[in-house]
Every structure is written in C-alpha cells, then in structure tokens.
Structure 1
Amino acid sequence: MDPEKGPQIIKVTPLQQMLSSCTGAILTSLIVTPLDVVKIRLQAQNNPFSKGKCFVYSNGLMDHVCVCEEGCNKAWYKKPGNFQGTLDAFLKIVRNEGIKSLWSGLPPTLVMAVPATVIYFTCYDQLTAFLRSKLGENEICIPIVAGTTARFGAVTVISPLELVRTKMQSKKFSYKELHRFISKKVSEDGWISLWKGWAPTILRDVPFSAMYWCNYEILKKWFCEKYGLYEPTFMISFTSGALSGSFAAVVTLPFDVVKTQKQTQLWTYENLKISEPLHMSTWIIMKNIVAKNGFSGLFTGLIPRLIKIAPACAIMISTYEFGKAFFRKQNSQRQQY
C-alpha cells in the first residue's frame, strides 16, 4: 500500500473513534485515579473535611466536586492514617486497606470521564476532518477551532450531569427524590441553574483545548518528519500529549484555581441555605485571590496539576491514536477482500 495515499483512503468511522476514546478514558482513569486518592487522603489528614465542606476530585480528565454532607468516618476519604508523604501514603494504604482502596473514587470518575471524553474526542476528529476538507491539510487554525468547539460542546452537555451527580454524592437520593430536587430547582431558578459553574469551566477548558490540540498537532508533525514517518507511533503520541498537556495546564492554571473556589462556594451557599452573593464573578474571585495571596496565588497547586495532567494527556491521546490505528488497519484489511 502506498504510505502517502493509504491513510487518506482508509478512514475511521465515528463509532470506532468513540470506542477508541472510551478505551482511552477508562485506561486513563484506572492509571491516574490512585494519584488523586492519595492526594485527597493527605488533604483529609492535614485538614479534615467538615460537614458541608467540599473538595475537588480530579483524574486529569474531569473534575468532581464532592460534598461531605454527613461527615461520616466510613467514607473512603475519611479513613484514618498517619502519612508522611505521597510514597508513604501509597505503601500504607496498600498494606493496611488493600490495593483496591487506591481506586476508591473510580465509579464517579468513570460516570463523568467516559461520556465527556467520548463526546470531546469524537467531535474533535469529526470537526478536524470537515475543516481540512474545506480549508486544506496544513491550516494551523484547524486544531484550534476544532479543539475549542469540541470542548465547548462537551462541557455544555456534561455540566448538568455533573451538578446532578454531585448532589447524589452529597447524600443518598432515590431517583424519585432526585427528580423532585431537579424539578424544584428548575421551577425556582429556571433551566439555566443546571449549568452553575459552567462559565469558569469554559474559561479554563476552552483555552486549554485550543493550546493542547495546536501544540499536539505541531509536535506530532515535527516528530514524524524527524523520524521519516507518516503516522505517529505510540511513543510519539505519548510524548506529544505529555508536553502539550503540560504547557496548556500551566497557562490555564489560574482559571482552574478560580473554578475550584467558585464551585466550592456554590455548594457551601447551597448547604447553608443562603442566597448566592451577586459579586461572585470569575474576575472578582481572581482579583480577591491576587489581593490575598499575591499573583502566585493564581498558580496554587501547579506541581500536583502537572503530575496529573501530563500523564493523563499522554495516556489518553496515545491510547486514542493506537485505537484509531488498530481500526484503520482492520478497515484496510476489509477493503482488500
């Protein structure tokens, strides 16, 4: 097969793209979740979560705001421990509680990460193919436009689901009670209330996606040209994903800090049954952070974010590209017979 023409003829179907992204999301969650479990246990040890207090659980793909409504000591994030650091926490959790404890928060992670990632990556590939057919193969704006649009759509679709799932995590709800809660919220505040926290999420994730996909495509192309390859290998995708993800994570960290604080405040106001103040805009929160902690306050948690984002981006994109390459090979073999 002519290597220059083959990849243009052999296409991957949207269903195959969805399967590839689903596999990547599951694998990424399985590998990255223990990092967050350990981080949260260390946080709980130093600053125990009180009733109504929130913490943000993230696996590098999606964030999850968990509300400690009852303050129950049986919860996985409330288990006792005396940890001296990350490695010590890993070893003691495995020795005292079993290795399964490292994946304690996996179910809610998968509930959010899988649909969001499938929508995101499939939309990106479909938009990229469409734009390239209209504008040409080498337009640098294509990954920026496709990444921005895909992330905007994924965040908008998933946002109400995240709000509902967060409410279910705060307390045990039957589906009837959950339906009553949603109906009441919609009747009181309108449908727009289901998208609380959407704005700071967009401000963080859309620029992240634009920078990530632009840098990823540039790095991937550069590595392929350097080694004389038409398609990226697993290691090229892995390295390009880690580097581009790290750069985007650093630049967008201030919006991540604001988003975490805003979502936490939203749940605090809801739990205390008081109205949300009108001044809680993204820019006001950012201004308050700078006034209180200086400019460096906007980059709080840089190292933990990089430790999560770099491997998550690398594993996700390399698995996704590997899955597409696998299906492309299968489709090629079908065409030959």
Structure 2
Amino acid sequence: MDDQDLYESLPPTSTSVDHMVAGAAAGILEHSVMYPVDCVKTRMQCLIPDPKADYRSIADAFYKIVRYEGVRNTVRGVSAVIGGAGPAHALYFACYEKMKKIISGGHQGNHFAHGTAGLVSTLLHDMVMNPAEVVKQRMQMFDSPYKSCSNCIKVIYKEEGVMAFYRSFTTQLTMNIPFQCIHFMTYEVMQDIMNKNRGYDPSSHMISGAIAGAAAAVATMPLDVCKTLLNTQECCSRSRVSYVNGMTSAFRLVYEYQGLQGYFKGVQARVIFQMPATGISWSVYELFKYLLTQRQNMEDKYPRVNGLTVKAVESSEV
C-alpha cells in the first residue's frame, strides 16, 4: 500500500478515538465559526415574521439584529450547538471512516461506499444532534422567551414533554440522509478531480468541502425550512393552535403561508453558511488525518525499544 492509500484510509494503528477526536473538533469549529449566519437563516425562514424581524436580505437581517438587539443575539444559543456538535460529529466521522473501509474494502473511488457510509453515519449523528437543534433554533428566534439554553430545555420538557426534542427527527433525517449522501459523494468526486493522489492538500479539501456543502444545501432546502418550523413551532405560538406534528403538516403549512417560494426562504444564508462550514470541517478533519499519518510514519521509521528509538539505542551501544 503506497503513502497516498495510507493517508486515505488512515494508519492501521489509528483508533476510533482518533476519529472521534478529529470529528468532534471539526464539528465544533464548523458550527461555531459560522453561527451568526445560521441565526440569520433561521430568522429568515419564519412563516409569520414579526414586523421588527421582517428581513429583506442577509445584510438587512444582520443590520437589524445588531442594531436593535445587540451583537450577542447573533450567537444566542451557540452553547447548545457546541454541546451537541462535539459528540454528534465524533460519532459521525468515526462511523463514516469505519463504514467506508468495510464497504469499499479499502479501495479508492467507490462512491457507493461513500454514500452508504454517509447515510449510516447520519443516523447516529441526528440522534445526538436533534435535541441540540431544537434548543438552538428556539434561542435564535426573534423575541425568544428563553433566558438561556438550560432554561429552554427545562421549559420545553415541562410544557411539551421529551418528544418535543425529537418532533423534527423524521424530517431532519429525511433531509440529512440525502444531504450527507450528496455531500460525501460530491466531496469525494471533487477530490478525484483536484487531488487525484489523495495526499494532504489543504486548498483542495477546503474547496471540495465548500462545493459539496453548497450542492447539498440547495438540494435539501425545502426540508430544512420544514425542520425549522417543527423545531420552533413559531406558527403555533402566534396563532395559538395545536402543535405542528409531522413532515406532511409542516409542508402544508409552509405552502399555505408562503407558497412555493416559502420552501426556499433563507437559501442564500444557508449556502453562505454551509460553504465555509463544510470547508472548515473537512479541512480540520483532513489535518487530523495527516497528523495521524505523519505520526505513524515516524513510528515506523524510528521504532521505539524500551522507551528509546532504535537510533538512540544504537548510539548508546557505541
């Protein structure tokens, strides 16, 4: 197996913990760096926006939030997504690497393996991330009644029950399965074009990740709008009707209030969020892979004997 294959599949001595640490770091950076844009996207997806929060564009949304609510409101709820993104992405990337290796048999260019691995890893990711998404999006809403993330969790649990944290799970899973399949397959295709030797190439990882994120974001936008409605229940809070339950109900309400264009509200903000976010995520993860590979290469070149390298042992004997 050549160096490129070793890098692509990670050193045989790397453990699931290595994958999980790399994935957690990538996920936390991905979500926290671009969080203000995610806040704008959530606000722009509202079905019945408050007159004070009726935004014409991304720039208009940023301006109004900062001017009338303060800079802190652009990152309100970030602790929830950081707390969820760490373990969710740890499971996500560890599962992806393991499944990709099992299905492809270690061979490069098997995009069916990439897509299937992305699908299975998404199941684990969403089980952890869905409750964090609910809290995050309720904190992001205009005039949110919750004082903090912990207060939001307590109020939701007390008033709506534990199932409220998974009311959008089916929709999120329906969105994320094609999202991640498109995401992973596009990334691997772009790597085949830009990085044929599959070595460590930061610029190709960043660009491939950005293109993959943008393609997946546009393709799954209608489901993201419905997921936001199910998470925030903002239509119910304003019209005082029963809870919106299920993807079909969410699709119907979006069309009733906004028409077909409602399914793509905030699409620019989502693309602007996903391009650097997925670029950062893949860049950080590939950096971890590179460092692990370099460490393994050094250990192979200079094996340790009784706590000393072979070279050091030879010198001491002379």
TM-score by length of structure 1 reads 0.69
Pairing partner for 2:286 from 309, 321, 330: 321
Q: Which ranges in structure 2 are unaligned for 5 or more consecutive residues?
A: 304-318
- What does 1:123-134 correspond to in 2, within 5 Å? 123-133=95-105
- What does 1:238-277 correspond to in 2, within 5 Å? 238-265=206-233, 269=236, 275-276=242-243
Q: How far did 1:13 drift?
A: 2.1
Aligned letter for 1:255? Answer: L
- What does 1:34-53 correspond to in 2, within 5 Å? 34-36=36-38, 47-48=51-52
Structure 2 SS opposite 1:111: helix
**Against the structure 1 CA distance between its residues 314 and 47, is the aligned structure 2 distance closer, same or farther, given a 3 Å change threshold?**
farther
Q: Distance in 2 between matches of 1:46 and 1:177?
A: 21
The aligned residue for residue 145 of structure 1 is 116
The aligned residue for residue 117 of structure 1 is 89
Deviations 1:271-317 (A, max 9, x none): 9986436xx43234324434554433221211111111111111111
The 8 Å contact of residues 33 and 105 in structure 1, kept in 2 or not, is answered as no
The 8 Å contact of residues 242 and 310 in structure 1, kept in 2 or not, is answered as yes
Pairing partner for 1:289 from 251, 254, 279: 254
- What does 1:71-110 correspond to in 2, within 5 Å? 86=59, 103-110=75-82
User: Among the aligned pairs, what percent are the same residue?
Assistant: 21
The 8 Å contact of residues 45 and 265 in structure 2, kept in 1 or not, is answered as no
**Against the structure 1 CA distance between its residues 171 and 250, is the aligned structure 2 distance closer, same or farther, given a 3 Å change threshold?**
closer
Aligned letter for 2:284? Answer: T
**Against the structure 1 CA distance between its residues 174 and 262, is the aligned structure 2 distance closer, same or farther, given a 3 Å change threshold?**
closer
**Against the structure 1 CA distance between its residues 200 and 235, is the aligned structure 2 distance closer, same or farther, given a 3 Å change threshold?**
same
Pairing partner for 1:209 from 166, 174, 180: 180
**Against the structure 1 CA distance between its residues 315 and 281, is the aligned structure 2 distance closer, same or farther, given a 3 Å change threshold?**
same
The 8 Å contact of residues 204 and 255 in structure 1, kept in 2 or not, is answered as yes
Pairing partner for 1:231 from 199, 216, 234: 199
Alpha-carbon RMSD across the aligned residues, in angstroms, is 4.3
Structure 1 SS opposite 2:176: helix
Aligned letter for 1:276? Answer: Y
The 8 Å contact of residues 40 and 62 in structure 2, kept in 1 or not, is answered as yes
Q: Distance in 2 between matches of 1:200 and 1:85?
A: 25
Q: Which ranges in structure 1 are unaligned for 5 or more consecutive residues?
A: 50-83
Aligned letter for 1:3? Answer: D
The 8 Å contact of residues 38 and 86 in structure 1, kept in 2 or not, is answered as no
The 8 Å contact of residues 92 and 125 in structure 2, kept in 1 or not, is answered as yes
**Against the structure 1 CA distance between its residues 178 and 193, is the aligned structure 2 distance closer, same or farther, given a 3 Å change threshold?**
closer
Q: How far did 1:32 drift?
A: 1.0
**Against the structure 1 CA distance between its residues 21 and 230, is the aligned structure 2 distance closer, same or farther, given a 3 Å change threshold?**
same
**Against the structure 1 CA distance between its residues 329 and 170, is the aligned structure 2 distance closer, same or farther, given a 3 Å change threshold?**
farther
Q: For this pair of structures, how many residues does the alignment match? A: 292
Aligned letter for 1:121? Answer: F
Structure 2 SS opposite 1:10: coil
